[in-house]
Structure 1
Amino acid sequence: MSRIFLRAAVLATALSAACAAHASDDGFSWRFSGFGTAGYAATNSDDVLFTNPGQLKGARKGGSALVDSRVGGQIDFSFTPKLGATVQAIAMQDARGRFRPQLEWGFVSYKASDNVTVRLGRLGWPAYLVSDYRYVGYANPWLRAPLEVYNLAALDRYEGADLRWSHDLADGVFTLQLLEGHASSPLPESTERNARIKVNQLSGAYATYEIGNLRVRGGLSTGKATYVSQNTDMLAAGLGMAGYGAVATRLLPQNNRATFLSLGGTYDAHNIMATGEYGKLRSSGLLGVAQGWYGTLGWRHGDWMPYATWAGYSKQDDSDLYAVPPVGPLLPLSMGVSQLAAGNDQHTASLGVRWDAASKLAIKAQFDHVRPSVAGGTFTKIQPGYNGHPVNVVSVAADFVF
């Protein structure tokens, strides 16, 4: 893993040098920025797998550097005072367990007026408080964004357009962002190259207000979700052959309406940092109804900031809505349906510390005491016989920008 990460870092540095070598003064300007995280995480249990959202491989007792490590670069172009473009690429573990670069953002922007900007292309989905810099670890207080909220929806980006309108309000700035497009996100699966969730007719509206040391963001997205997977297709076919086709239709999302609501805020002044966020996903079928929240309080002392986080997550139990009798040849189908529709929950208490070792380098350590349900909470690859016992996660990371 270390060789892979260093190779990606060298590529990012080479990209920066190449951009500098080809800079010109013929009417446009550009700016390159890079970021990365070298991290390591380990748990005290082999019964579950600890991952970030969308990852196939993760950490158990043996530990892993694949969970949090990443490196990325961004180039912002300005062609005229009104017309620009942005390209961002990040190398990190994907849904097939590979550590390779992918295009995160790629869009053109047009400033129609002092207050209105229109963007078109591949854009970041702005549903979360730190969506604009979620993978820039240096910009975040924690070692990783709390999974109880950031694991609710599987989207990071979408293809489409947005419109941003900003206006001075009182002593702060109010920004309204409207979006429209579609999204497709791979699902963690080693044997299925096409396993993914697709969202068509995606639209949303988000408001951000910044005043002094306070920043608040909230909004709603909605779209029609489809779950594409050979495993779920086989389950649907089996249910149909057994006479439970109606259960398959209701359980497995095919253009089902899904909505995601979120609200969060951060206050950062003097030696106090406080942040919190709430999110709720609502859909029929497999996605179901789930919600998550967290609150973090940190105290700055020179270059050090210890912090504590309390977070919770819950998914509604819909087993009764999709019941298949667990008898005879129906038993495998019943177990598959129950697993997809079962309820789930988790609570996590975290303690961490951030040390700003240099102007562009932060060292972090974090301890998470996670109490999931027998369904595993946000953990994956739950082993048979797991009884919901608490799991401890220990992580260290170096976040840097360049």
Structure 2
Amino acid sequence: MPVIETSTEKKNNRLLWGPESSSPLTDEALHFKRWRRRTWQLHASVLLSHLYAFGLFLGHSWAGYAPLNAVLLYGLWVGIGMAFITWAYASGWSQTRRDPGLFLVHQLLAIIGTLGLLIAAPQVAFQALVMLMVFSADGFLARRRTSFWMTWGCTLIAVAVIICWLGPQMRMTTDTLAGQLLAIGVVFGAVVRCSILVTYFRSMQFRLSASNEKLAIALTQIEELMRNDELTGLANRRGVMERLQQCIETAQRDGSALCVALLDIDYFKHVNDRYGHEGGDQVLRAFGQLLSSQLRAVDCGGRYGGEEFLLLLPGTTLSEAGVLLERIRTHTESLPWSKKIDKDLQVTCTLGATLYRAGEAVETVIARADAAMYRGKVAGRNCVVLD
């Protein structure tokens, strides 16, 4: 059974992006490969965004709204920065850093370049400010929440200072046709980039939701395996003991009857010795099917240990339980074991039952049923003894 491990980080120190954020069910090497692929995809989208912004700035320079040298310096700054990030990803150097996604490098590259151009060419403030808002959407790359808020807190302060300083020179470039087209291009680029990010994370959310559903199904199956005996199809010791506790609580609450019975396959060790464990498993499997066929929906049968079985019969008096147990005994004796396993094989069982008494502990009622079954073994086996 796979062991599912979980880890909880402090709320304010939660990992937002990086290999460590994977599901523990994912193979480490496979996840690392997927993470690198996602990193390159996001890196490519950021690079395209920078190229688009640089193209718009060149357009503003051509239209006379921004000095060409400032735009070229911006392009040089971004080009050097993106070249470094590309090298860091390709060489694996970023994996040796505490921030493998290089969030701070990405953000400083974009923020410093944009703020610098905003100061050098306040006439293109509209595009610069829109770009800053768009780049803030890359916050998912932040390794920690604190690094994201600190970075953009300082950026907002810097923007406020620049607006107070150069506010009168800032304007939208919509006084000419070229300026209008460039303004439309700025808004178009911002909407497209944000839409791509939303689509990307919605798809991730969908995949995560699907994975969670599969995990929930797997956990349900694990819960069932933890409470069921695969060989006999009945509850295992844990499952039947949990059910016994529930039955006792019901009996105490409404005063109803509850019979508890222990069953043991006679001379089962001889079956294992003569026919091997495979033969013993066949006997246990057939006996489990027999019990299942005789019990009501409200009853519960479970493998208590080895060849011992525990039966819980809620709402059943001791005399009524005796009728059921005698039927199980006769069915066991008359089952065609010779056809199932070997012509010389004959299987019988000994059964002991008792009635639950109000306020009685679980161990006590089982011990009385066990004592009744033991008296049946002393009396010669293949019989029913009622306590």
Range of TM-score over shorter length: under 0.3
Higher percent of residues as helix: 2
**Larger Cα Rg: Structure 1 or Structure 2?**
2
Higher percent of residues as strand: 1
Q: TM-score scaled to structure 2, two decimals? A: 0.23
